[in-house]
Structure 1
Amino acid sequence: MGIFGGKKDSESKVDMLVITSDKLERDYEPIGTVSVSSAKITSDLDVFVNMLALKAKEQGADAVICFRYQYSGAVHVAYGTAVKFK
């Protein structure tokens, strides 16, 4: 099971903390906002969480905080703040 109850794709899964809060039990430095969008037809939110985590990892992030997700028409948008742990 994925974070939101969907199936996991273990082959392309990025191991990164992605949370809706900005509260972490360790110090961190914000890197910047990361966002992904897709017209992919799926109800599996883990797909978009993984896409966001992959993009954040490419920027050197250790986690994504303040995760948000929107769906409008045929476009899914996920975004959050990439952070690096101190």
Structure 2
Amino acid sequence: RVITTAALIMIAVFFSFVTIQNPTVQVLGFGMAVAVLLDATIVRMVLVPAIMELFGKAAWWFPKWLEWLPKLNIEGSPELLNAEKANETAMDAANV
């Protein structure tokens, strides 16, 4: 939804360039608006999901030569997550 909304805003801004008297700016504005429209609709809504489905697990393949990168977890350490899940399960069991 965020990408679609951002694309709509960009399309509106680029189409506003068509009202300017400079023909170069008009052509660039129209071209950019069409490009963003195609990217937001055809590429992101059709091609990317289709390619992800076709590739399956290969779409998520991580190259061996990048294993030196640190493993980051934005949700916290696994131990904390497991403790929170256990606490939630205990509270659900106690109907709290």
**Class of the TM-score when normalised by the shorter of the 2 chains:** under 0.3
Give the TM-score, by structure 2 length: 0.22
Structure of greater relative contact order (alpha carbons < 8 Å, 6+ residues apart): 1
TM-score normalised according to structure 1 size: 0.24
Structure number, greater radius of gyration? 2
Q: Which has the higher helix share?
A: 2
By percentage of residues, which structure has more strand? 1
